[in-house]
Chains A and B, each alone.
Chain A
Amino acid sequence: MAEQSLGSDKKSKKASFSFFGKGGFLGLFTSRPVENDPNTLNLNKNTAKRPILSIDVDNPSQKSSPTFSKGLALDNNAPQPKPSVSPEYPLNEVLVLGEEYKMVVKIVNKKIPTCSPPNASSFVPSLKNAMHENTPTIIKQEIFSMYDKGIKAKEWHEITPENVGVHIAKRLHCNIMVDALCGFGGNTIQVSSSFSMIF
């Protein structure tokens, strides 16, 4: 029945198994950034560490006791260092391709850029933020660009952000789409704005 050959190497993930239909397409989009993603967390660490370093260079007398509050005060005056990498959503796109009853899974690693500026301290709509209901407005504007015009939503960590929705709409050329679990409509709005036909 089902053949399964999943290599141990993470770089070459290929699995072949029989499938229940004819040639189908299965796209898998992982939209939410991982908590320990180096692109996200290192940004915060760098901006937190650099002002303390600047104290040491400017005033060597304070080198013995650089407190955290002084570091924050100098941070406002000093020009903020621009990180080279802007924040991005990781995207693992899984394509199920092939002929009848023989399918090959290909996993493609891509990245989608975010709307937020590279200096934004916390842009990740993470599960922790949503559980404590302290989702910052930067994240809300990242998910819905028209957030200021009165968007109603809860549970922000489950809504598809706009850039990911635009990517999904480009990727899936279709006329009729069924959104089984639409939620607050993050995905629905972006995909339907690309439709020309009215269903």
Chain B
Amino acid sequence: MLSIDIDPEKTLSARHNSQIYGVHHKIDFLTVDFFQLKNLVGDVVFLGPSDMRKNPNEPFSLFKHSEPDLRDLLAKSLEISFNIALKLPGDTNLEELVKLFNVSLERDNL
């Protein structure tokens, strides 16, 4: 398990939390930018982008509200593996997924 986050406070408290659960020996924590890493190896990439909505009544949009951008995240994580797991809020517009794949397809072919 390789866990990456930019914020050093988050990785420190994540390590602290994993010590409480007793699984810290299985995890490597890195405080770096995910986009600057190279030659990563993994079976599955898990992405849980954060929710940047200011109005909670607005439905979650894949293009506007994810931080960092989902298209960049997918393009970067496809270099590691073809198996990707995404975690998104419950009120996500699922029809946007088709658009998302078309866009990242064009970027990939270029």
- Contacts from A to B (Cβ < 8 Å): 1-2, 4, 6, 13, 15, 17-35, 37, 89-90, 92, 94, 105, 107, 126-128, 131, 144, 146, 149-153, 155, 157-158, 160, 164, 168, 171-172, 174-185, 187-189, 191-193, 195, 198-199
Contacts and interface: CB of A to CB of B under 8 A. Distances in A.
Interface centre among A29, A127, A168 (most CB of B within 10 A): A127
Interface of B: 1-5, 10-11, 13-18, 20-21, 23, 25-29, 34, 40-51, 53, 56-57, 73, 76-78, 80-92, 94-95, 97-98, 101-102, 104-105, 108-109
A164 B45 CA distance: 16
B94 A13 contact: yes
A124 to B, nearest CB: 9
Nearest to B25: A198
A199 B1 CA distance: 6
Contacts of B86: 26-29
Contact of A180 (B1, B15, B47): B47
A32 B59 CA distance: 12
B18 A188 contact: yes
B102 A17 contact: yes
Contact of B56 (A90, A126, A144): A126
A98 B86 CA distance: 19
B101 A31 contact: no
B98 A4 contact: yes
B101 A191 contact: no
B78 A20 contact: yes
B82 A195 contact: no
B17 A189 contact: yes
Contacts of A28: 85-88, 97
A184 B14 contact: yes
Contacts of A199: 1-2, 26, 28
B90 A15 contact: no
B20 A131 contact: no
Given A19-B105, A180-B34, A183-B5, 10 more contacts: A28-B86, A31-B87, A31-B90, A107-B94, A168-B87, A172-B85, A174-B42, A176-B41, A188-B27, A198-B26
A177 B44 contact: yes
A157 B98 contact: no
Interface centre among B18, B73, B87 (most CB of A within 10 A): B87
A153 B46 contact: no
Nearest to B87: A29
